[in-house]
Amino acid sequence: MASVTAKPIDTTIEVPGKRTPLVTGAHDYGTVTDAVCRLAECKTPTAWYVALGISASLMGMLFGLIGYLIITGVGVWGNRSPVFWGWPIVNFVFWVGIGHAGTLISAILFLFRQNWRTGINRAAEAMTIFAVICAGVFPGIHIGRVWLAYWLFPIPNQMAMWPNFRSPLLWDVFAVSTYATVSLLFWYMGMIPDLATLRDRATGKIQQFAYGLFSLGWNGSSRHWHRYERAYLLLAALAAPLVLSVHTIVSFDFAVSQLPGWHTTIFPPYFVAGAVFSGFAMVLTLMIPARTICGIQDLLTDRHLENMTKVIIATGTMVGYAYAMEFFIAWYGGNRYETFAFINRAFGPYAWAYWIMVSCNVISPQLFWIKKIRTTPWMIFVVCVFVNIGMWFERFVITVTSLSRDFLPSSWGYFKPTIVDVLMLIGSFGLFMTLFLLFCKFLPMVAMAEVKSVMPRPGGKSDHH
Amino acid sequence: MATTIEQPVKTKAEPELLGLLAEFDDPNALIEASKKVRDAGYRKWDTHTPFPLHGIDEAMGIKWTILPWIVAACGLTGGTIAIGMQYWMNAVNYPFLISGKPLFSIPACIPITFELSVLLAAFGAFFGMLVLNQLPKLYNPLFKSEAFRRATNDRFFISMDAKDAKFSEIDSGEFLHSLNPIGVEEFWSDVESPKLPRNLKLALALVGVLLLMPPALVAYKRSTTTNSPRIHIVPDMDFQPKLKAQNTTNLFPDGREVRPNIKGTIPRGQFKDDNIPFYYGLKYLPEDQDVVVIALQDEKKTDAKKTEEKPPADPKADAAKTPAEKPADPAVDAAAAEASKLEKLPWVTEFPMPVTEKMMARGKERYRIYCSACHGLGGEGDGLVSLRAMDLQQGTWVKPASYHTDNVRKLPVGRLYHTITHGVRKMPAYGAQVPPEDRWAIVLYLRALQKSHEIDATTIPEAEKRKLRDTK
C-alpha cells in the first residue's frame, strides 16, 4: 500500500485500475498529525519572522494610508472625472475574485467527491477569508465618508430612510458580507476537530487555553461526528451556489449599468470563471512555496498541484472565450457605442493593459497543456504569478477603459493612478500575507481529520465512501 | 435517585466513578467492538475517533440527525425575512419610486432573498450542529485522561457512562476487556469542584463598570441640555472654505463675497428689452437704467432709517403724515430727489395693449386678491390691514395713499405699473408675485375705480342709468 512504502512515488502518473494515493510517504495517522502540527509546535523559523515583519510593515503602510485618506479625502487617489471607479474598485474585484477558490474547493469539490481537495482546502479557505477581508477594505474606504458606512445596511436611522434594494451595489453588500460570514463559518467549523488536536498536543498554558477555547470542547465523539458531517455537507451545499452568486452579483455592479463595455449579459458567468481562475492561481502561488517551507509535500502532492492546473486551463479558456465573445457581440449587436468601446479597449490608449491581460490570462495558462510544466512546481508558480497579474489587469481594463471613454467624447479622459493608489495595492498584499503567515504559524494548515479519513485504513481495508 | 437514600452520608469530597474508557489503535477493531457494545444493550456510551469513521454510525446504531430540518427552517425564515424586509422598506415605509418602475417586484428581490436564505441556513447548520452536540462544553471529565489526548490524533476510544442502566463497575469492565482493547481505564469526578480564581469576580465587576461608563455618559449627555455648540467629531462638510452671500472677503476690492451680475447679464426668462413699455411701463429705457429699480430701494432704506432714528414719541402724528409732509432730514431729501428722478422718467401714458372687458374683469379679481387688503375695495386706503395697523398706533405704518387724490389721478399708467412692480414706501414689490399682464390689468381696474369717483352722472350711458334707477 502507498501509505507504507517509503519509496517516493510519482503521483502524476495514472495507473489503470489503481487509485493514486492522496498521501505519499510512510504516513500513518500519527505522523500526519505530527507533520501538520509541526509548525505550530516547534520553534518558529527566523524566515517566518522576516516574512511577517515585511508583510506587517506593508500592512501598517496600508492602514496609515487609509488614515491619510480618511483625513484628507478621496482626492488622494487618481479617481477623477470621468473615472470615478479607479483602483479601489479594481482592487476590490481582484481580491473578491481570489476569494472564490477556497470555498469552491471546499464546497463544490466536496459535493463532487473530489477527495484530493482535503490536502488543500484548509489553506485555500483561509486564503479566501483573507482575500475577502482585503476586498472588503476597498469599497469600505471608497465611499469617502467612512463613518457613514452603516448607511450601506438596512439599519433604522435618524433620517428614517432605507437603502434602495433594487441597486446592485446593495446586492453586493449582502452578497459579499454573506459570503464572508459563510466562508468563515465553513472554515472555522472544518477547523474545530483540528484545533482540538492542537489543544490535546499543546504543552504551554496559553496554547492550551486558546486552542481549548476555540475547539469548543470537541472530543471526537462519533455522535458528534455524525451531526458534524451532516452540517458540513449542508454548509457545502449552501456555499456552492453562494460562491457562484457572489461574483455574479459583483458583475451586476457593472452589467446593470448602461455603460458601453459593461452592459453585457455575459458578465456573470464570465466573472465567475475569472474568479475561479484567479483564485486557483493564487492558491498555487501561495501553496507551492508554503508546502516546501512547512514540509507538507506528502499531504499536498504534485498530483494536487496538477489537478489545480487543470482547473486553471479550463477556467482560463472560459475567460478567453468570454473575451472573444464580448468582441463578437459588440460587432453583432450593431450598437456603435458598444463596438467603439471594444475597439477602444484593444487598440485605444489602454491597449497596453488589454494585451497584458490577454497574454497573461489567455495565452499563459495554455502552457499547462504541456505535462512537464504542469508537474514542475516552479513552472506552475511562474505561470500562476502571470495569471494573477493578468486578472488584476482584466479588472483594470473593464473598469477604467469603459469609464474613461463613454458616450460623450468631450468628457473623455485618461486615468492616472497616484502613488497612494499604488502603495495601497501593495499594502493590501501586506495585509493578506500577514494574515496568511499568522494562519500558517498558529492554525492547522491542512485539514488533518479530513486527510486521515481519505487515507487507507490500516489492515488493508480501504475506506470507500 | 435511589442511591441517595441508601448512602445519605456520602460526602462530596469522595470522587464518583463516571465511567470507563477503552482504547483501540485500529479503526476496524473499534467498529467491531462497537457492534458488540451495541448488541450488549448499552445505551449511554460513545466512541471517540480522530476523524469521522465510516461505518461507525451503523455499528453504533446512531439515528439520523434532525439537522437538515433545522437548516431548511432557517433558510425559509431567511428568505421570508428578506422578502418581507424589502417589501416593507421600499414599498411601504419608504416608497422608493425609480423611473416609474413598480415599488415592489420579485426579480429585483432575488439576489438579497437568496443571500439571506443562505446566510440563515448556514447559521442553522453551524449553530444547530453545536447545539445538538451540546457544544461548546469546555469541561469534560474525559479530558483528564492522559491517553484520551490521542483521541484527536491516532487512537480510537469507547467511553461508557456509569449512568447507563446496564452499567456495573466490574461487569462492564470485564466486558470492555473482552473486546481486546489496548487498555481500559476508569474516569472519576473531581474530588473538589474547581474554584474560580478569587479575583475573577472582582475583575469582572470592574470590567462591567468600565463598560457601562460610555453608555452612561451618552445617556447623560442625551438627557441634558447644553449651551456650548456641538462637538464636531466628524466635520463632514460643516465648515467649507468657500465664499458665501452676506460675508466679507479680501479677495475683491469691494469686500463683498457675493458678486453682482456682470453688466448686461440677462437671467434666463428675464429678457424684457423687446417690449419696454409692457415690462417697464416706460416709453424707452433711460440711460441711467439703475434708477428704475434702485430709486425705490433707496427710498425703502430711508424709510427704515426713519423708523430707527425716530423715537416713537409721537406715533400718531407721525403715522398720519404723508411723505410729503415729513420734516426735512437728509434721508427724506434723498427720497425726494429719487422721487423727482422718477417723475422725469418717460412713463407711458397709454396701456401698451388693447384694453378689453376680459382684462378689466381680471384686473378686478387680482385687485381684490392682492391690493384690497390694504387699499380697500374702493381704493380709499381703508383696507382691513391698514385699519388694524392704524389702530395699533405703532408709528411705523404709512397709510396707503387714496387713489382719489389729484396727485394719484395725474400719475401716468406706466408709473402706476412701476409702483406695483417695485413697491413704494411701506408697500412691498409685487413684481415677483403678479405677472406683467395682471399688473396692467390691475392698473386698468385702478383707473376704473378712479373714474367711478369723479364721474359726472349725466355722462353715464342710458343703459347704466337704467340699472341705477332700478330698485329691485
Q: What is the pLDDT of residues B393-440, one digit of tens each?
A: 888 888 888 988 888 888 899 999 999 998 888 888 998 899 999 999
Residues, chain B, total? 472
Tally of structural domains, chain A: 1
Is residue B243 included in any domain, yes or no? no
Q: What share of chain A is helix, strand, coil (3-state, %, to 5)?
A: 70, 0, 25
Is residue B175 included in any domain, yes or no? yes
Q: What is the end-to-end Cα distance of chain A in Å, rounded?
A: 18
Search chain A and give the residue with CA nearest B65: A227
Give the whole-number percent of chain B exceeding pLDDT 90. Answer: 28
Mean pLDDT of B216-228: 90
Contact A202, A42 (CB under 8 A): no
Domain termination residue (choose one: B137, B163, B191): B191
Domain span at residue B58 reads 13-191
Q: For A7-13, which contacts have Cβ atoms below 8 Å and span 24 or more sequence positions? A: A10/A302, A11/A301, A11/A302, A11/A303, A12/A302, A12/A303, A12/A306, A12/A371, A12/A374, A12/A375
Mean pLDDT of B172-176: 84
| Interchain contact, A453 vs B128, CB within 8 Å | no
Of A360 and B193, the one with more pLDDT = A360
Domain termination residue (choose one: B191, B225, B243): B191
Q: Is A84 helix (H, G, I), strand (E, B) or coil?
A: coil
Contact A59, A434 (CB under 8 A): yes
Position B318 scores a pLDDT of 44
For residue B159, CA distances in Å to B22, B61, B138 come to: 6, 15, 18
Q: Which of A166, A167, A387 is nearest to A285 (CA)?
A: A387
Rounded Cα distance between B170 and B187, Å, is 14
Search chain B and give the residue with CA nearest A144: B236
Rounded Cα distance between A332 and A334, Å, is 5
Is residue A442 included in any domain, yes or no? yes
Contact B47, B158 (CB under 8 A): yes
Cβ neighbours of residue B139 closer than 8 Å, sequence gap 6 or more: A217
Helix axes A46-72, A117-142, angle to 10 degrees: 20
Using a CB-CB cut-off of 8 Å, the residues of chain A touching B144 are: none
Q: Choose among B46, B89, B130: nearest Cβ to A221.
A: B46
Search chain A and give the residue with CA nearest B53: A453
Q: Is A79 helix (H, G, I), strand (E, B) or coil?
A: coil
| Interchain contact, A231 vs B236, CB within 8 Å | no
A:236-275 residues touching chain B, CB 8 A cutoff: 238-239, 241-242, 245, 249, 252
Is residue B381 included in any domain, yes or no? yes
| Interchain contact, B149 vs A201, CB within 8 Å | yes
Rounded Cα distance between A369 and A376, Å, is 13
| Interchain contact, A227 vs B50, CB within 8 Å | no
Q: Choose among B93, B123, B135: nearest Cβ to A217.
A: B135
Using a CB-CB cut-off of 8 Å, the residues of chain A touching B143 are: 219
Is residue A461 included in any domain, yes or no? no
Which residue stretches of A205-335 are H helix? 205-214, 222-255, 267-293, 302-332
User: Looking at CA atoms only, how far is residue B203 from chain A in angstroms?
Assistant: 19
| Interchain contact, B86 vs A28, CB within 8 Å | no
For residues B445 and B320, membership in a common domain is answered with: yes
Rounded Cα distance between A98 and A283, Å, is 8
Rounded Cα distance between A169 and A151, Å, is 12
Domain span at residue A258 reads 2-454
Q: For B299-308, which contacts have Cβ atoms below 8 Å and span 24 or more sequence positions? A: B299/B335, B299/B338, B299/B339, B299/B424, B299/B425, B300/B423, B300/B425, B301/B331, B302/B331, B302/B332, B302/B334, B302/B335, B303/B335, B303/B398, B303/B425, B303/B426, B305/B331, B306/B331, B306/B332, B307/B395, B307/B396
For residues B286 and B391, membership in a common domain is answered with: yes
Q: Choose among A162, A217, A465: nearest Cβ to B94.
A: A162
Question: Sign of the C-alpha dihedral, residues A114, A119, A120, A123?
Answer: positive
Q: Is A221 helix (H, G, I), strand (E, B) or coil?
A: strand
A:164-183 residues touching chain B, CB 8 A cutoff: 164-166, 168, 170-171, 174-175, 178, 181-182
Is residue A255 included in any domain, yes or no? yes
Which residue out of A103, A194, A218, A227 would a mutagenesis test of the B interface target, given it has the greatest number of B Cβ atoms within 10 Å? A227
Q: Which set of grid coordinates corresponds to residue A35?
A: 507533520
Using a CB-CB cut-off of 8 Å, the residues of chain A touching B44 are: none
| Interchain contact, B154 vs A145, CB within 8 Å | no
Tally of structural domains, chain B: 2
User: Looking at CA atoms only, how far is residue B43 from chain A in angstroms?
Assistant: 12
Confidence of residue B320 (pLDDT cuts 50, 70, 90): very low
A:180-239 residues touching chain B, CB 8 A cutoff: 181-182, 185-186, 189, 193, 196-197, 199-201, 212-213, 216-231, 234-235, 238-239
| Interchain contact, A165 vs B109, CB within 8 Å | yes
SS in 3 state form for chain B? CHHHHHCCCCCCCCCCEEEEEEEECCHHHHHHHHHHHHHCCCCCEEEECCCCCCCHHHHHCCCCCCHHHHHHHHHHHHHHHHHHHHHHHHHHHCCCCCCCCCCCCHHHHHHHHHHHHHHHHHHHHHHHHHHHCCCCCCCCHHHHCCHHHHHHCCCEEEEEECCCCCCCHHHHHHHHHCCCCCEEEEEECCCCCCCCCCCHHHHHHHHHHHHHHHHHHHHHHHHCCCCCCCCCCCCCCCCCCCCCCCCECCCCCCCECCCCCCCCCCCCCCCCCCCHHHHHCECCCCCCCCHHHHHHHHHHHHHHHHHHHCCCCCHHHHHHCCHHHCCCCHHHHHHHHHHHHHHHCCECCCCCCCCCHHHHHHHHHHHHHHHHHHHCCCCCCCCHHHHHHHHHCCCCCCCCCCCCCHHHHHCCHHHHHHHHHHCECCECCCCCCCCHHHHHHHHHHHHHHHHHHHCCHHHCCHHHHHHHHCCC
| Interchain contact, B48 vs A220, CB within 8 Å | yes
Which residue out of B153, B222, B232 would a mutagenesis test of the A interface target, given it has the greatest number of A Cβ atoms within 10 Å? B153
Q: Which set of grid coordinates corresponds to residue B275?
A: 417690449
For residue A147, CA distances in Å to B234, B235, B286, B354 come to: 8, 11, 59, 65
| Interchain contact, B52 vs A225, CB within 8 Å | yes
Q: Choose among B93, B112, B151: nearest Cβ to A219.
A: B151
Q: Residue B289 above 80 pLDDT?
A: no
Amino acid identity, residue A255? Answer: A
Is residue B123 included in any domain, yes or no? yes
Rounded Cα distance between A95 and A89, Å, is 10
Q: Which of B37, B122, B34 is nearest to B78 (CA)?
A: B122
Q: Is A83 helix (H, G, I), strand (E, B) or coil?
A: strand
| Interchain contact, A222 vs B93, CB within 8 Å | no
Position A204 scores a pLDDT of 86
Is residue A423 included in any domain, yes or no? yes
Is residue A242 included in any domain, yes or no? yes
Search chain A and give the residue with CA nearest B151: A220
Using a CB-CB cut-off of 8 Å, the residues of chain B touching A228 are: 52, 129, 133
Residues, chain A, total? 465
**pTM of the full structure:** 0.75
Confidence of residue B294 (pLDDT cuts 50, 70, 90): very low
Q: Residue B307 above 60 pLDDT?
A: no
Q: Which set of grid coordinates corresponds to residue B277?
A: 413699455
Q: Residue B8 above 60 pLDDT?
A: no
Residue at grid coordinates 476487556: B177
Nearest 5 degrees, angle CA B334-CA B339-CA B342? 130
Position B1 scores a pLDDT of 40
Which residue out of A208, A230, A461 would a mutagenesis test of the B interface target, given it has the greatest number of B Cβ atoms within 10 Å? A230
Bridge partners, B184 (sequence order)? B22
| Interchain contact, B47 vs A201, CB within 8 Å | no
Using a CB-CB cut-off of 8 Å, the residues of chain A touching B136 are: 216-217
For residues B289 and B419, membership in a common domain is answered with: yes
For residues B186 and B296, membership in a common domain is answered with: no
Backbone torsions φ then ψ of A422, nearest 5 degrees: -65, -45
Bridge partners, B159 (sequence order)? B21, B46
Using a CB-CB cut-off of 8 Å, the residues of chain A touching B111 are: 168, 171, 174-175, 245, 249, 252
Q: pLDDT truncated to tens, each residue of chain A (465 aa)?
A: 344 444 456 777 777 777 777 777 777 888 888 888 887 888 888 889 999 999 999 999 999 999 999 988 888 999 988 999 889 999 999 999 998 888 888 888 888 888 888 888 898 999 999 999 999 999 989 988 888 888 889 988 888 889 999 899 999 999 999 999 999 999 999 999 999 999 998 888 888 889 999 999 999 899 999 999 999 999 999 999 998 999 899 999 999 998 999 998 999 999 999 999 999 999 999 999 988 888 888 888 888 899 999 999 999 999 999 999 999 999 999 999 999 999 999 999 999 999 999 999 999 999 999 999 998 999 999 999 999 999 999 999 999 999 999 888 998 999 999 999 999 999 999 999 999 999 998 999 888 888 888 888 776 544 444
For residues B37 and B178, membership in a common domain is answered with: yes
Rounded Cα distance between A451 and A22, Å, is 8
Confidence of residue B131 (pLDDT cuts 50, 70, 90): very high
Rounded Cα distance between A197 and B151, Å, is 8
Q: Residue B325 above 70 pLDDT?
A: no
Is residue B366 included in any domain, yes or no? yes
Which residue out of A159, A225, A233 would a mutagenesis test of the B interface target, given it has the greatest number of B Cβ atoms within 10 Å? A225
Strand (E) or helix (H) holding A344: helix A336-347
Amino acid identity, residue B379? Answer: G
Q: Which set of grid coordinates corresponds to residue A204?
A: 504551554
| Interchain contact, A220 vs B136, CB within 8 Å | no
Q: Choose among A175, A201, A230: nearest Cβ to B67.
A: A230
User: Looking at CA atoms only, how far is residue B257 from chain A in angstroms?
Assistant: 26
Q: Is A7 helix (H, G, I), strand (E, B) or coil?
A: coil
Contact A430, A2 (CB under 8 A): no
Position B469 scores a pLDDT of 79
Q: Does A30 touch chain B (CB under 8 A)?
A: yes
